Amino acid sequence: MSENIRRIYKKLIVSCQALPNEPLHSSFIMGRMAKAAKEGGACGIRANTREDIEEIRKNVDLPIIGIVKKIYENSPVYITPTMKEVDDLVAAGADIIAMDATDAVRPGDIPLDLFITQVRNRYPKQLLMADCSTIEEALHADSLGFDFLGTTLVGYTKQSEGDQIEENDFEIIKRILEKVKHPVIAEGNINTPLKARRVLEIGCYSVVVGSIITRPQVITRTFAEEIERLDGN
C-alpha cells in the first residue's frame, strides 16, 4: 500500500457528490465542498465523475475514491458499470476506483468476474474497491482480489432489502471482517460520529460518510421532520 493510501487508514473519508437533479450539482461546488471537508479533518474524498475529481484535485491533495454513476438500460448496476467509466476515472487520476460488486447483471451481461479481469489487464496497478450489499458479495469480491471491500450498498439492493448496517453492533461488517483478507471500508448510512468511530474500532480500514455531511437538503429534512412532530403542525 502506498504512503498516499495509508493516509486514510483509520481516518474519515467524506463523499462529495451531487447528482444532476440536486441543488449543489456543480464541479466547482464539489471542489469547495472537498476543501471544506479537508478543513474539518477529512483525510480522503469519494467523488463522482471525472469532472468533479479534476476540480477537487485543484482544491485538495487528499486521496480520492472515484466513481462514475451512469444508468444503462437493462441493468440495475450504476456505479462504474462499464470500462468507459473506468477509463474516465483513470484519466482523472482517481487513487482508488470503486465499482458495483453486487451479483446484479452488468450492462452487456458481463459478469463481475470477467469485468474485473478486463480492468486488471488494462490497468494492472490501479487500486479497486468493491461496493457490496451482502456478506456473500463481499466474500466473492475478496476472492476476486479487490484491493478494498466496501459496504456501500447494504440495504440499497433487492438482495439486501431491510438490512441495516448498524444492526446488532454492525454484525454485517463484523462477519465480513472475520472472513476476508482485504481491507474493509465502511460506507452506507454511517450517519453519526459515534457510528463512524465504532466501525473503525471493530476493524475497518477507513470510513466513508456522505449525505449527513455534504447534502444540505438531507440534513435539513431531518430537522424539518422532527419539528413537524410538534403538536398542532
pLDDT in tens, the chain (233 residues): 789 999 999 999 999 999 999 999 999 999 999 999 999 999 999 999 999 999 999 999 999 999 999 999 999 999 999 999 999 999 999 999 999 999 998 999 999 999 999 999 999 999 999 999 999 999 999 999 999 999 999 999 999 999 999 999 999 999 999 999 999 999 999 999 999 999 999 999 999 999 999 999 999 999 999 999 997 55
Please report the beta strands in the chain, taking only residues with DSSP state E, as ranges in sequence order: 12-16, 44-48, 64-67, 96-100, 127-131, 148-150, 184-186, 206-209
Instruction: Say what the pTM is.
Output: 0.96
Of the candidates 120, 147, 118, which has an alpha carbon nearest to the alpha carbon of residue 131? Answer: 147
What is the four-CA torsion angle of 106, 111, 112, 116, rounded to 10 degrees? Answer: -110
Strand 206-209 and strand 127-131: pairing? unpaired
Q: What span, in angstroms and rounded, lies between the C-alpha atoms of 171 and 188?
A: 14
Residue-level pLDDT at 1: 76
Confidence (pLDDT) at 232 = 59
- Return the DSSP state at 48: E
Give the C-alpha separation, 100 to 190, whole Å.
19
Domain ranges of the chain: 3-228
Distance CA 1, CA 183 (A): 11
> What phi and psi, each to the nearest 5 degrees, are found at residue 124?
-65, -20
DSSP helix/strand/coil, 232: coil
> What is the Cα–Cα distance from 5 to 86, expressed in whole angstroms?
19
Under CATH, domain 3-228 is a member of which superfamily? Aldolase class I (3.20.20.70)
What are residue 85's phi and psi, to 5 degrees? Answer: -70, -40
For residues 137 and 102, the answer to whether their CB atoms sit within 8 Å is yes
